[in-house]
Structure 1
Amino acid sequence: MRKTERYKVEDANSLWRIYKTVSFFKVMKNFIVIQIARYTPFLSVKNWLYRTFLRMKVGKQTSFALMVMPDIMFPERIKIGTNSIIGYNTTLLAHEYLIEEYRIGDVIIGDNVLIGANTTILPGVTIGDNAIVSAASLVNKSVPAGAFVGGNPIKIIYTKEEMEQRKAGTTE
């Protein structure tokens, strides 16, 4: 399902203890860099900002649309392959704060992946190469390579094999 590290908290909800989890100055720096990148129309500049200041692993020719929101606390836990598209206003989360615990997990997006607009990707998720995620989806589990998924939460619409049949123009 999802691969996350879980950390129990006591006395107060986990978000109340945010700066025991991550440095205030790291969050401020990341916030500023992310806000600049969200509005920057130059794809190569966005990738440079993400690689240089947030330590995200971003493949060549990967495109982040306007308003994409990478994880502000743990962006270094996000890895995106080459030639992928991250759609408008997508959120990539590498953390989640709950009442009694917080979780941190890597987000891994393969090569040639298309993520539709307004999608939310939760921590600990892997999206395989050549996958397509429909717009307005909640990616709450890993996506197999070549699959077409969508919905809230996601469901497989077409498997890799079904997608290949559709591209070839055959149906069986």
Structure 2
Amino acid sequence: MRKTDRYKVKDANSLWRIYKTVPFLKVVKNFIVIQIARYTPFLSVKNWLYRTFLRMDVGKQTSFALMVMPDIMFPERIKVGNNSIIGYNTTLLAHEYLIEEYRIGDVIIGDNVLVGANTTILPGVTIGDNAVVSAASLVHKNVPPGAFVGGNPMKIIYTKEEMEARAEKS
């Protein structure tokens, strides 16, 4: 189960009340910063933009590929550890607006994690150290440290122990 805070709404769907949950100017600022970062080829500049303007917790030597889309409303709820790679066009969501409620949750990505291209990570998910997420995955639950996961919805392909056994055979 993902760890999110849930907020019920009445009268209209939760997205209709978006600017009651997050200030409009914050969203505008975040949009501009994210668009600049999505296209810049300089990894250190991306990390600086994320840390400075979005208050994301980004580890040393972490790499965000071209077109990565951090959460536009709550980027400060995203933490990425050291030496991790977030693949091309990946979406990191810290919020989800539903019909009768909205949810907000931290996204925590450990150290030495590889997230493949075109992956979506939902709010409230933790990805453990040394994990690998295959391309085009929907990460809807926690990923154990050292595991290899993938698919839509995501499933564990190999556990850490199975990955180590495979490495010993080769």
Please give the TM-score of this superposition, normalised by the length of structure 2: 0.99
Partner of 1:104: 104
- Matched residue of 2:10: which SS? coil
Question: Identity percentage over the alignment?
Answer: 89
CA distance in 1, matches of 2:161, 2:37: 37
Partner of 2:10: 10
User: CA offsets, 1:125-172, max 9 Å, x none?
Assistant: 0000000000000000000000000000100000000001111116xx
CA distance in 2, matches of 1:89, 1:166: 30
CA distance in 1, matches of 2:54, 2:167: 38
Partner of 1:77: 77
Q: Does 1:165 align with 2:165?
A: yes
CA distance in 2, matches of 1:103, 1:153: 19
CA distance in 2, matches of 1:142, 1:163: 18
5+ unaligned residues in a row in structure 1: which ranges? none
Pairing of 1:45-84 with structure 2 (within 5 A)? 45-84=45-84
Q: Does 1:113 align with 2:127?
A: no
Q: Which amino acid aligns with 1:46?
A: K
Q: Which amino acid aligns with 2:152?
A: N
Please give the TM-score of this superposition, normalised by the length of structure 1: 0.98
CA distance in 1, matches of 2:53, 2:164: 39
User: CA offsets, 1:89-132, max 9 Å, x none?
Assistant: 00000000000000000000000000000000000000000000
CA distance in 1, matches of 2:168, 2:23: 51
Question: After the TM superposition, which segments of 4 or more aligned residues of structure 1 sit over 2 Å from their partners?
Answer: none
